[in-house]
Chain A
Amino acid sequence: MKQLILGLAATLLMTAAHAEPTATGDLGLVIERAKGSVLLVDQSDRAALARIEGLGDLSHASLVYSPDERFAYVFGRDGGLTKVDIVTRQIVNRVVQAGNAIGGAISDDGRLVAVSNYEPGGVRVFDADTLEMVADIPTDSKTIGLVDAPGRRFVFTMWDTGETWIADFSKGDPAITKILDMGKNPYDALITSNGRTYITGLFGEDGLTALDLWAETPEPIRVLPDYGRGQEEMPVYKMPHLEGWALTGREFVLPAVGHHEVLWIDADTLTETGRTQTHGQPVFAMARPDGRQVWVNFAHPLNDTIQVIDSVSKEVVHEFKPGPAVLHMEFTPRGHEVWISVRDANKVMVYDTQTFEKLREIEADSPSGIFFTARAHKTGL
C-alpha cells in the first residue's frame, strides 16, 4: 500500500512537471518603469500573463535574453542586474552592480552578461549563470552603446572621452582594443545584425562614426560629417536611440539629432541616400523585420504620434496618435504586428502593420521597453 501511494505520488509529481511545458518563443517582457516590475506577455494571445515585481528603478531599463529564451537579464537605471525566469515567472537572482547604469548585452555564447555604467563609469561583466562578476573594466567616462559582437566580444563607447573599446573575452581575461577619436559626445551606438559594423551617433558634433569590426585594426569612419546638427540647431529634449539595425534593403535608417527628420544611409558605402522630414525629433526609427516600413516615434512634446515611412518611396504613408508618451515599439519577429508602449495611457497597444488597425490594448503600468524573446537570437539585441 505504501509503495502504491509513493508510486502514485511520484506519478503525480511527474505529471505536474510535464503538465504544462512552457514554450517561450512567443513570449516577451514589458518594462513597467514606475513600479519596478516587468509584465510577461504572450504575443500570439496578445495578452499579459503575469507581473514580476521587485526589480528596482527601471527608468530607462532594457534587457537581453539567454540563448534558450528562458532567462531575461534586466538592466535597471539604479545599477540593478536582475535575472528573471520567464518559465517560473520569478526573479532568480539580482545584484546591484553599480550606482547608475544604462544598458547591457549578452555574449554570443550566452555565458557572459555585460552592463555599461554611468557611475562608476565603465563596463562590468558577469557570469550569466551565477551573476558573479568576472571582469571590471573602468573607463573613466559615462559608458554607452554597449553591444555584443561575434567572437565573444563586447563593444562600447565613452560619452566623455569619445573612445570606443572592444573587449575580447575569447581567451578568458579580456583583451582590450581602444579606438580613439570616435567623435565628441557619442550618445548611443548599434551593431549590424551580421556583427560587422558598429556605429555611434554623436551629440557633440556633426555626423556619426562607424567601425568595421572585420578590419584587423578598426579605424573610425566618419559618416555624414557634413550632416548639420549645427546648421539649424534645435534643442534636443530626448536623445535618440540607436537600437537594432533599421535595415531596409540596402539602406539603413537613423534618427537625426536635433532635426525633424530621419536619415537614409547606404549600408555598403555609408553615404547618405536621402532624408525624410518627420513630425518631430525622432527617438526610435525602427524597421519592420522585412524592412518595408520604418516606424518612428518622437521626443517630448510630440511623443503622442507615430509615423510610418515606406522604405521604397521614403515617404510617410501613415500617421496616427496612439496616445500620450509613446516610448517604444517592438515588432513580432516576422513583422505582422507591432506592440507599442503608451506610457501615460498605461497601455500597450497592438497594431496590424499591414492595415494599421488596432488589434488590442493591454493594461500596463507606465510601460516603456517591450522585448520579445526572439531577440535572444540576434546579435546586438
Chain B
Amino acid sequence: MASLAHMQLGLRTAKPGNAAGRAGWAARAVLTTAVVLATSAFAADTLDPNALKRLVHQDCGSCHGLSLKGGLGPDLRAETLEHYDADILTGVILDGIPDTAMPPWRPLISQEEAEWIARYLLEPEAQ
C-alpha cells in the first residue's frame, strides 16, 4: 500500500506541460503503477483482517480516536453507526465527504477492503 501515494504524486506531476525535469516522475509512476496494481490484486484476493484492524484503529484513529470514540472526526463506534447501511459507510470510506476533513481512501485501499472496514465498524465482534 505504501507505494500508492507515489503513484498519485507521479500522476499529478506527470501531467502534460509540466517542467521537463519531471519526466523521471512519469517513468517512476508507470513502474509504481505496475507494482500497485499487483499489490491491489493481491490485497483483493487475501484480505488481511489484522492489517485492516490496525489501519482502522491507528490511521482512521488519528482523527476518530484509537478506540474510535471520536476526535476531530466523529464517533465511529458500532452503537453510533448502527443506523447506517454498510454500503453507505463503504462509500464514505472510499470517496470521503466533500468539504470536510474526511478524505477519500480509494487511492489507498480496494473496494473489498472498504467493505470489510464498513462491516467491521458495524459489527466489530463478527470480523
Contact = CB atoms under 8 A, between A and B. Distances in A.
Interface of A: 33-34, 57, 59-60, 77-78, 99-100, 102, 118-119, 142, 144, 159, 185, 187, 203-204, 232, 234-239, 260, 280-281, 300-302, 304, 325, 343-344
A34 B69 CA distance: 15
A237 B103 contact: yes
Nearest to B96: A235
Nearest to A235: B103
Contact of B72 (A239, A300, A302, A343): A239
B91 interface: no
Given A77-B71, A235-B103, 7 more contacts: A33-B66, A57-B66, A144-B72, A232-B12, A237-B59, A260-B9, A301-B1
Contacts of B62: 60, 237-239, 300
Interface string B15-28: 00000000000000
A300 B59 contact: yes
Given A236-B103, A239-B63, A260-B9, A301 B71 contact: no
A234 B5 CA distance: 10
A304 B2 contact: yes
A77 B66 contact: yes
B70 A118 contact: yes
A60 B64 CA distance: 10
B49 interface: no
Q: Which of A78, A237, A238 has the most chain B CB within a 10 Å cutoff?
A: A237
Interface in B42-93: 54, 58-59, 61-63, 65-67, 69-72
A158 to B, nearest CB: 12
A99 B67 CA distance: 13
Interface of B: 1-2, 4-5, 8-9, 12, 54, 58-59, 61-63, 65-67, 69-72, 96, 99, 101, 103-105, 107-108
A38 B118 CA distance: 33
A286 to B, nearest CB: 18
A343 B5 CA distance: 20
B12 A301 contact: no
B70 A100 contact: yes
Contact of A203 (B2, B67, B101, B104): B101
Given A185-B101, A234-B8, A60 B1 contact: no
A285 B49 CA distance: 33
Contacts of A344: 54
A34 B66 contact: yes
B82 to A, nearest CB: 20
Contacts of B107: 235
A100 B5 contact: no
A152 to B, nearest CB: 29
